[in-house]
Amino acid sequence: MTQQIRNIAIIAHVDHGKTTLVDAMLRQSGIFRANQVITERIMDSNDLERERGITILSKNLSIEYKGLRINVVDTPGHADFGGEVERVLKMVDSVLLLVDAFDGPMPQTRFVLKKSLDLGMRPIVVINKIDRPGARPREVVDMVFDLFCELDANEQQLDFPIVFASAKSGYARFEPDDTGDNLDPLFETIRDRVPAPGGDAAAPFQFLVTSIDYNDYIGRIATGKIFNGTVREGQTLARIDKDGNISRGRISKLIGYQGLQQIAIEQAGAGEIVTIAGFDDVRISETLADSANPIALPYVNIDEPTLSMNFIVNSSPFAGQEGKYVTSRNIYERLQRELRTNVSLRVEETDQTDTFKVSGRGELHLSILIENMRREGFELAVSKPQVIFREENGERLEPIEYLCIDVPEEFQGTVIEKLGQRKAEMLSMKPMDGINRLEFHIPARGLIGFRTEFLTDTRGTGTMAHSFAHYAPYKGEIEGRKNGVLIAMEAGETVGYALFNLQDRGILFVGPGIRVYAGMIVGQHAKENDLVVNTSKGKKLTNVRASGSDDAIRLTPPRILSLEQALEYIDEDELVEVTPKSIRLRKKILDENDRKKEEKRKKG
């Protein structure tokens, strides 16, 4: 049976076409009816995934091809969700490394490839988007080979099979110039080059838990791969936690995959990817084993978080007006629920009862959690992201990111200068058709707040991507935000006349008719200091009409910050107030006099 199974994961940098390729594989495997309506990016089931066009959670499916069952795992491409990729790799026997035929290998390509090579896998390289204008598939193959060499691949791994494809058009070829309008070359390569899963059906049962989900009807469910033995519904199994403690439970439901569908099955054997229900306390990386002869599988260590921020109960004058869940108990329970499935997250209680320290793999990782919470009706305030330092042999170490930037030649000087101020070290510069690719090592601190500045400096034409590289000695102070902010003086509603008079003072974050409170940030000051302003001051009316005085006022549209931009923008003494309807910026201390006292205390 195991000879007819192939377990593979699709790994790639964000936006190189993983989910689109899975769509094409599903369509050509005959899993859908001829008249069935199919959406694009079927595997992106979560609302946020559809809106942003990125994969956040890894997902499983099964494809039948000429008597062969191919179990495919679609993985996230963003470095912040690397924890998802690390676990999934333990479940498969090979990977499809997808690389864009124009962009070539990018930071996340390096990160996920390194993980798979370390596990001894022999990747299949798929050069995708060969029909894209400017595609250079042959050159990209050389770049991939260089990357394999850099990552110390062995001889067998360097002898990787190559398939050229266009996931969007649904074809794969052994050579870029071949003809063909289907994915058969890819399916054949998977059949011939991916090893059948090992494992002994007669040995004691062993199952490694690689992801956890929750079902309202059957409770907690664990997905993973059966390494040895066979299992039946209703069977009693031993659960072995990371400390070797053993508890026993019974399988209430055994679930397999057919296409995208989860189907109830009676039994499964070595090599299969299945989902097991019945163990309410099971956690990721634990082993479910034979009850009579429990043997644990090696525990999967996940890279530690590099960034943390405080989640605080909202204390603004508008608290409780827009959200349903506002108390510290609500927030704590929600964070504990997230810990069940989000393996890269850490939650700690602090000495303040209304504050929780939440650590993750990056700003996007944490902002996705915050965005999900606000959509569920939560209201909270969050602090500026802080990097997590380490102490080793009395030396302070900080996380360093590998940063890759593609920028038009005319803007590269500005970008290099700005990154120099943020303690970045240039690794290489490669010209590519009017665009230069710059590679750096930069402290994770230096990237906080850089993206918005970068897009402004390059007029939206630059692209940047980064992934965690290593820890290195502390690089010294990095200058923070250069501009002060405009702060509302009192509670009220913004008036067009007042905003018109404030336009010259800086960039506004609010338009007319918006409710504000004292201490709320309404804009960016043109100078370095903070300025308290009156946004609710109306025009003094008289019965004298004068030429020109009644002309319509013209307001510049306000800069509306997204959640990620707001988190990047704020300073140490500021918070982002997040509710289901609004994202507001505010000072931690709302009262102006109290802020002045605090400043004096710090200086004194």
Binding-site sequence positions: 15-20, 128-131
Q: Is the dihedral of CA 118, 120, 121, 125 positive or negative?
A: positive
Distance CA 286, CA 532 (A): 55
Whether the Cβ atoms of residue 29 and residue 116 lie closer than 8 Å to each other: no
- Is residue 25 within 8 Å of residue 63, measured between CB atoms? yes
- The neighbour count for residue 393, using CB atoms within 10 Å, is 5
Element (H, E) at 473: strand 463-473
Whether 9 contacts 95, CB under 8 Å: yes
Residue type, 55: T
Element (H, E) at 80: none
- Give the separation between CA 380 and CA 374, rounded to whole angstroms: 8
d(CA 87, CA 119): 12
Of 60, 75, 44, 81, nearest in space to 7 by CA: 60
Cα–chain center distance at 466: 12
CA distance 27 to 20: 11
Dist. CA 569–CA 425, nearest whole Å: 24
Q: Are 388 and 308 in contact (CB under 8 A)?
A: yes
Instruction: Compute the distance between CA of residue 403 and CA of residue 276 in angstroms, rounded to an integer.
Output: 40
Place of tokens 């990977």: 95
Handedness of CA 31, 36, 41, 45 (dihedral sign): negative
Per DSSP, the three-state class of 122 is coil
**Could you give the C-alpha distances from 217 to 220, 221, 277, 278, in angstroms and in order?**
9, 11, 10, 11
Produce one character per residue of 219-241: b if its CB has 16 or more CB atoms within 10 Å, e if not.
Answer: ebbbbbbbbbbbbebebebbbbb
Binding annotation for GTP: 15-20, 128-131
Tokens coding 186: 């890819």
The residue length of the chain stands at 604
| Under 8 Å between Cβ of 450 and 424 | no
- Name the token pair of 594: 């109290």
**Bridge partners, residue 440, by sequence:** 403, 426
**How many whole angstroms from its chain centre is CA 221?**
23
* DSSP 8-state assignment for residue 410: G
